[in-house]
Amino acid sequence: MASLSSSFFPVFLFLLSASMVASASIQEQFTQCLSLNSKFPIPFATAFFTPNNISSFTTVLESSAQNLRYLLPSAPKPAFIFLPSRESEVQAAVICSKKLGIHLRVRSGGHDYEGLSYVSEIESPFFIVDLAKLRSVNVDIKDSSAWIQAGATIGEVYYRISEKSQSHGFPAGLCTSLGVGGHITGGAYGPMMRKYGLGADNVVDAQIVDANGRILNRKAMGEDHFWAIRGGGGASFGIILWWKIKLVPVPPTVTVFTVTKNLTQNATKILYKWQQVSANIDENLFIRVVIQPANASAGVKGGRTITTSYNALFLGGADSLLQVMQKSFPELGLTRKDCTETSWINSVLYIAGYPSGTAPEVLLQGKSLFKNYFKAKSDFVRAPIPETALEGLWTRLLKENSPLTIWNPYGGMMSRIPESAIPFPHRNGTLFKIQWLSLWEDPKENAEAHMNWIRNLYRYMGPYVSGHPREAYVNYRDLDLGINKNKNASFVKASAWGCKYFKDNFNRLVSVKTKVDPDNFFRHEQSIPLLPHVQ
């Protein structure tokens, strides 16, 4: 045993040393290449982070990562992280990635559910281009538009709009720490979607860095390419630098409310009714349902119940809202005291879960209220789920430690925009979307048990959700649906998950990808593949 140890450790140290030298060589080559290809000197001390300085490297790596499963020691780590502060530096990063053969991942907000912007399970070495320093928001009220950089959070965008006008807004996400670069590439839904559609529906121009390192706007990239980046999923067609968004009108007074019902308060029957009315109700009203187990009142068997919290935004005053609710959804029992009239920007804080009285300036911090170990899935529903199926769902939710499911209503403008208008296809006929989550806070917990639970739940719900294909939301990436195992992604295998995310739009996305990125430079575990004859 002693002789084995004495022979093993020198070999181990040699291999470790060789690995570090190779890594250092990669870093050195890359910084030299960046310097040669950037128009301005790059401040490497604040832009380039390597494992050689583990403290600063880890801080940057973890800064915006949302799913802690992909920060565990076993998760692959980048060779380095680059934070460009100019557009030309993003161009240089693409050029040097191609020249040196180092795989690139791009991150704008870190909310991707499977960590694809900061982890690569399929290629090594890889590095991260983190757009966190590119966060300008230029609002033009006269034009009812804004140019927003990819590294800005949607909360920052909302704040900057409200700074200039109390009568303008933008229909995008509920979670304010979302980076707008990736957020809009998947669609970007939020509480004004029934009135104005998705964030991606309200994009009128963009600037991207393509696979050749060129900066292209809408005119230069062409309409097919512009179509693909608005809902076709992030990191397949280029690196988003800027979006030009169309602002939408908001009234001076909006109304919000949250009403919670548990199983002893007729929760199952009320939710069944919500399914029938939420997509057909006044399009100024968005009522989502947040469903989770909670401690029950004393004397209830098992000590836990299911709570259904109806969380809403109405683009108007409380009196008008109460008339709408009395006509269409009296079962909820909404009263005037449940309603809070406020401004649109304060409704953003309310829906995002900030405490009452929080100043809007908190949105400039870009911090997330949600950072856990989790696994997520999604579904779209086209017919009300029967009460008996809901009761089976409650049984399954009560068996998991910390599950969460959020149901978001469709209808309104979402039903009037054609499925092919942008790659996001979940339109007319969709009643609501479901997000399924299993969350845990302790890394020592059995992650596989949580993963198995949500997979079993997903199987159980199969008969009650959309089918042929069973649709899924691309911004809730789910690698259970399939992965590209190497850079030469199989079109046939990718179509299994591609059709769930994009339905009939998937084939057009593949055609665009093949045209604009024939070498498949922008790739990840679920990036759009090339047509078979190109591979």
d(CA 376, CA 272): 23
Which two structure tokens, joined as six digits, stand for 330?
């009296």
Residues 432/405, Cβ–Cβ less than 8 Å: no
Residues 184/203, Cβ–Cβ less than 8 Å: yes
d(CA 186, CA 501): 10
Last residue within a domain, chosen from 208, 228, 249: 249
Using DSSP, how many helices (H) and how many strands (E) does the chain show?
17, 18
Check whether residue 307 and residue 337 sit in a common domain. Answer: yes
Residues 526/483, Cβ–Cβ less than 8 Å: yes
Q: What is the CATH number of the domain that holds 55?
A: 3.30.43.10
Pairing of strands 254-262, 340-342: antiparallel
Q: What is the CATH number of the domain that holds 186?
A: 3.30.465.10
Check whether residue 279 and residue 385 sit in a common domain. Answer: yes
d(CA 188, CA 191): 10
Tell me, what's the pLDDT at 299?
44
Q: Identify whether 12 is part of a domain.
A: no
E-assigned strand segments in 315-421: 340-342, 373-381, 403-409
Q: Identify whether 469 is part of a domain.
A: no
- Angle of helix 505-516 versus helix 491-502 axis, rounded to 10: 120
Alpha carbons within 13 angstroms on the beta-carbon side of residue 24 total 8
Check whether residue 289 and residue 192 sit in a common domain. Answer: no
Q: Identify whether 6 is part of a domain.
A: no
Give the type of residue at 458: Y
CB-neighbour burial class of residue 347 (10 A; exposed 0-12, middle 13-18, buried 19+): buried
Check whether residue 394 and residue 263 sit in a common domain. Answer: yes
d(CA 258, CA 311): 4
d(CA 114, CA 69): 9
pTM higher than the cut 0.85? yes
What's the total number of domains in the chain?
4
From residue 194, alpha-carbon distances to 278, 287, 298, 430 in Å are: 10, 10, 40, 12
From residue 97, alpha-carbon distances to 27, 92, 107, 196 in Å are: 11, 8, 15, 39
Alpha carbons within 13 angstroms on the beta-carbon side of residue 40 total 9
Check whether residue 36 and residue 98 sit in a common domain. Answer: yes
User: Considering 158, 350, 354, 476, which one is annotated as catalytic?
Assistant: 476
d(CA 168, CA 149): 19
Check whether residue 53 and residue 89 sit in a common domain. Answer: yes
d(CA 256, CA 315): 9
Closest CA to 527 of 90, 120, 5: 120
Give the domain extent around 114.
24-130
Check whether residue 112 and residue 151 sit in a common domain. Answer: no
Q: Identify whether 356 is part of a domain.
A: no
H or E element that contains 27? helix 2-37
Digits of tens for pLDDT over the chain (535 positions)?
A: 333 333 333 333 333 333 444 556 899 999 999 999 998 999 999 999 999 999 999 999 999 999 999 999 999 999 999 999 999 999 999 999 999 999 999 999 999 999 999 999 999 999 999 999 999 999 999 999 999 999 999 999 999 999 999 999 999 999 999 999 999 999 999 999 999 999 999 999 999 999 999 999 999 999 999 999 999 999 999 999 999 999 999 999 999 999 999 999 999 999 999 999 999 999 999 999 999 999 876 445 568 999 999 999 999 999 999 999 999 999 999 999 999 999 999 999 999 999 999 999 999 998 777 789 999 999 999 999 999 999 999 999 999 999 999 999 999 999 999 999 999 999 999 999 999 999 999 999 999 999 999 999 999 999 999 999 999 999 999 999 999 987 777 788 899 999 999 999 999 999 999 999 999 999 999 999 999 875 5
Last residue within a domain, chosen from 82, 109, 130: 130
CB-neighbour burial class of residue 355 (10 A; exposed 0-12, middle 13-18, buried 19+): exposed
Residues 153/175, Cβ–Cβ less than 8 Å: no
Q: Say whether the peptide bond before residue 51 is cis (omega within 30 degrees of 0).
A: no
Instruction: Report the chain's terminal Cα–Cα distance, integer Å.
Output: 50
Q: What is the CATH number of the domain that holds 408?
A: 3.40.462.20
Which residues, listed in sequence order, are joined to residue 380 by a DSSP beta bridge?
Answer: 433
Q: Identify whether 353 is part of a domain.
A: no
d(CA 50, CA 65): 17
Residues 266/332, Cβ–Cβ less than 8 Å: no
Closest CA to 150 of 211, 107, 112, 108: 108
Check whether residue 260 and residue 244 sit in a common domain. Answer: no
Check whether residue 279 and residue 408 sit in a common domain. Answer: yes
Which residues, listed in sequence order, are joined to residue 312 by a DSSP beta bridge?
Answer: 257, 287
Give the count of beta carbons closer than 10 Å to the beta carbon of residue 15.
10
Is 354 an active-site residue?
no
SS3 assignment, position 62: helix
CB-neighbour burial class of residue 221 (10 A; exposed 0-12, middle 13-18, buried 19+): buried
Check the CA dihedral 108-109-113-115 and report its sign.
positive
Last residue within a domain, chosen from 83, 106, 130: 130
From residue 495, alpha-carbon distances to 348, 490, 518, 532 in Å are: 37, 8, 18, 12
Check whether residue 270 and residue 312 sit in a common domain. Answer: yes
Q: Identify whether 44 is part of a domain.
A: yes
Check whether residue 328 and residue 438 sit in a common domain. Answer: yes
Check whether residue 171 and residue 243 sit in a common domain. Answer: yes
Q: Say whether the peptide bond before residue 403 is cis (omega within 30 degrees of 0).
A: no
Q: Which residues fall within 8 angstroms of residue 97, CB to CB, at 6 or more apart?
A: 103, 104, 127, 521
Q: Identify whether 477 is part of a domain.
A: no
Give the type of residue at 487: K
